[in-house]
Structure 1
Amino acid sequence: MQLSIVIPLLNEEESLQELYNWIVKVLRSNSFSYEIIFIDDGSTDNSWKIIQQIAAEDEAVKGIKFNRNYGKSQALHVGFDKAQGDVIITMDADLQDNPEEIPELYQLITTEGYDLISGWKKKRYDSVLSKNLPSKLFNAAARKTSGLKLHDFNCGLKAYKKAVIKNIDVYGEMHRYIPVLAKNAGYSKINEKVVQHQARKYGKTKFGVERFINGFLDLITIWFLSKFGKRPMHLFGALGILMFFFGLLAAAWIGGSKLYKLYHGEASILVTDNPWFYISLVTMIIGTLFFLTGFLGELILRSSREKDRYRISQTTGQF
């Protein structure tokens, strides 16, 4: 099979049939063999009924329904797990991603040999304050921390070589930084393509203030994982040792000063009256905690991560 189209969605009943018709028109006109996988991330409208109707009419369409909203990363995770195509295309279900981009994305993977092509919505039709500005901040920070010179990490329209999606783990809310996950997994042939972006035709955006905050927290997480994910002791252990020995040296200096004054018969304040006593004590305690954090992190890495991060209530189509 040439193509798998993976589409996570939440409450997009108005756009699904139109999106399906558009995708199929493009795929059939280019003679692609394909599957389309819709992942309903706990929709409360009629999205799942529409997916079932489409799947009943087209055996290439498959649907997965979560029993509640788990998030886009979890939807992509299960979609990647089920995808069988040689090239996997992801896109959003709100009609803002243009299916006409699919053939060129496919060619870039198969002919040019890229591992991942990320869409770049150079001209956007979103609200400046709610999406455009946060997106620019995210992308600038992601470029700085990851070293990948992409303009739009969070674009839903991407193309992947099959090996990439089978060897990365999209969890939490890391869907924003899949190119970084791919790079960390050893896939270096990553590029971008300017894609057409369209104004939302139906419904409303799912973007909220919490996603702005979560995006930056996820960026910090992925920076840490890329640098120290396999060896947390290298960060926490090093910080712990430095802080502990700083506190130890400060305590030794205080003790030495006390003994020196006593030896020379000088009046001396109590050790506990010296503010450096408390600084050294707190520093040694924090250093010990950092070291223990690194040690526990190493132990956790040696246990398997919980994989069952969502519950599927129904499926449709032949997987």
Structure 2
Amino acid sequence: MDISVVVPLYNEEESLPELTAWIKRVMDAHNFSYEIVLVDDGSKDKSWQVIQSLKEGDENIIGIRFRRNYGKSAALNVGFAAAEGDVVITMDADLQDSPDEIPELYDRIKNQGADLVSGWKKKRYDPLTKTIPTKLFNSVTRSMSGIDNLHDFNCGLKAYKKDVVKSIEVYGEMHRYIPVLAKWAGFSNIQEQVVQHYPRKYGTTKFGPGRFVKGFLDLMSIFFVGKFAKRPMHFFGPLGVISFLLGFIITIWLICEKLMSIANGTVYRNVTDQPLFFLALVAIIIGSQMFLTGFVAELVSRNGTDRNKYHVDQVI
């Protein structure tokens, strides 16, 4: 099979018939073999009934329904597991992403060797309350991830080599960072394509302002897990040692200063009367805790079921 189109959706009953018909026209025009994986993320409207109706008239449609709303990341993860195409395309169900972009995305994966191609909505039809935070969010993600050639990490329209979606796990709010997950999994050929963005035709957006806070926290999680999941002591250990040594050196300096004042016959405050003493004490305690945290995390990591799980590219 050439292409799997994975579409996560929540309360999109109006747009589904138009979206699937649009995808079908594009696929038929280019003679692609394909499947459309519609993942209903616990919709409260008639989305599932619409999917059932569409399935009856088109054997290329696969419907998956959650018992409740789990979020876009969960829907994508399940859709990736079900996808069988050599190239996997993701897009939103609100008709703001254009299926007309599929042929070029497919070509860049299949024939030009890209591992992942992320869409860039260069001209957006969203309010400033959404576009300005998104630009800031993308800037922070670029600097922290090292993927400096992407302008829009959160664009729903993306294309993947099949190996990519089978090698990553998407959870929480991690759908915003799939290019980062792919990079940590060893897929380095990550590209970008300017795509058409359309105004929302039906319904309202399903994401509120809280998504930016959750997104930032997930970025920190990805940064830590990607670098230190198999060696947490390399993160906690140096910080703990530095903090402990800093506190220890300050304490020794205060004690030596006290002893010298006694030897010289000068009056000097008790060590415990100085603010630096309590700063040193806090530094020692924090350093010890961080070192022990790294030690415990190392034990957990070494006893994990995936401690020796690595992504192998080729065996000859």
TM-score, normalisation: structure 2: 0.92
1:278 is aligned to 278
Task: State the SS of the aligned residue for 1:20.
Answer: helix
Q: Percent identity?
A: 59
Distance in 2 (CA, whole Å) between partners of 1:162 and 1:303 is 30
Q: Deviations over 1:176-210 (max 9, x none)?
A: 11111111111111111111110000000112110
Change (3 A) 1:303 1:38: farther
2:309 is aligned to none
Distance in 2 (CA, whole Å) between partners of 1:132 and 1:142 is 15
Task: State the SS of the aligned residue for 1:153.
Answer: coil
Structure of greater relative contact order (alpha carbons < 8 Å, 6+ residues apart): 1
Distance in 2 (CA, whole Å) between partners of 1:243 and 1:5 is 51
Q: Is residue 287 from structure 1 mapped to residue 287 from structure 2 by the alignment?
A: yes
1:246 is aligned to 246
1:154 is aligned to 154
Q: Trace 1:38-187 onto structure 2 (pairs within 5 A).
A: 38-129=38-129, 131-148=130-147, 149-187=149-187
- Following TM superposition, by how much is the alpha carbon of 1:221 offset from its aligned partner in structure 2, in angstroms? 2.4
Task: State the SS of the aligned residue for 2:167.
Answer: coil
Distance in 1 (CA, whole Å) between partners of 2:305 and 2:95 is 35
Structure 1 vs Structure 2 CA RMSD = 1.7
Task: State the SS of the aligned residue for 2:249.
Answer: helix
Distance in 2 (CA, whole Å) between partners of 1:21 and 1:63 is 15
- Letter aligned with residue 153 of structure 2: F
- Following TM superposition, by how much is the alpha carbon of 1:303 offset from its aligned partner in structure 2, in angstroms? 5.0
Distance in 2 (CA, whole Å) between partners of 1:68 and 1:36 is 21
- Letter aligned with residue 21 of structure 2: N
Task: State the SS of the aligned residue for 1:166.
Answer: helix
1:29 is aligned to 29
Q: Is residue 198 from structure 1 mapped to residue 205 from structure 2 by the alignment?
A: no
Distance in 1 (CA, whole Å) between partners of 2:303 and 2:35 is 35
Note the residue ranges of structure 2 that are not aligned, 5 or more in a row: 307-316
Change (3 A) 1:201 1:224: same
- Letter aligned with residue 58 of structure 1: D
Q: Is residue 213 from structure 1 mapped to residue 213 from structure 2 by the alignment?
A: yes
Q: Deviations over 1:209-239 (max 9, x none)?
A: 1012112222222233333333222221111
Distance in 1 (CA, whole Å) between partners of 2:52 and 2:305 is 33
- Following TM superposition, by how much is the alpha carbon of 1:305 offset from its aligned partner in structure 2, in angstroms? 8.0
Change (3 A) 1:192 1:49: same
- Following TM superposition, by how much is the alpha carbon of 1:288 offset from its aligned partner in structure 2, in angstroms? 1.0
- Letter aligned with residue 36 of structure 2: I
Q: Deviations over 1:43-79 (max 9, x none)?
A: 1111111111212222221111111111111111111
Distance in 1 (CA, whole Å) between partners of 2:244 and 2:111 is 55
Q: Deviations over 1:157-184 (max 9, x none)?
A: 0000001111111121111111111111
Distance in 2 (CA, whole Å) between partners of 1:268 and 1:190 is 64
Distance in 2 (CA, whole Å) between partners of 1:60 and 1:27 is 11
Note the residue ranges of structure 1 that are not aligned, 5 or more in a row: 307-319
- Following TM superposition, by how much is the alpha carbon of 1:244 offset from its aligned partner in structure 2, in angstroms? 0.3
Q: Deviations over 1:22-46 (max 9, x none)?
A: 1111111211111111111111111
- Letter aligned with residue 150 of structure 1: L
- Letter aligned with residue 286 of structure 1: I
Distance in 2 (CA, whole Å) between partners of 1:50 and 1:293 is 51
- Letter aligned with residue 212 of structure 1: F
Q: Which shifted more, 247-256 or 217-226?
A: 217-226
Q: Deviations over 1:79-123 (max 9, x none)?
A: 111111100000000000001111111111111011111111111
Distance in 2 (CA, whole Å) between partners of 1:123 and 1:270 is 66
Distance in 1 (CA, whole Å) between partners of 2:204 and 2:230 is 40
Change (3 A) 1:160 1:239: same
- Following TM superposition, by how much is the alpha carbon of 1:156 offset from its aligned partner in structure 2, in angstroms? 0.4
Task: State the SS of the aligned residue for 2:42.
Answer: coil
Distance in 1 (CA, whole Å) between partners of 2:171 and 2:179 is 14
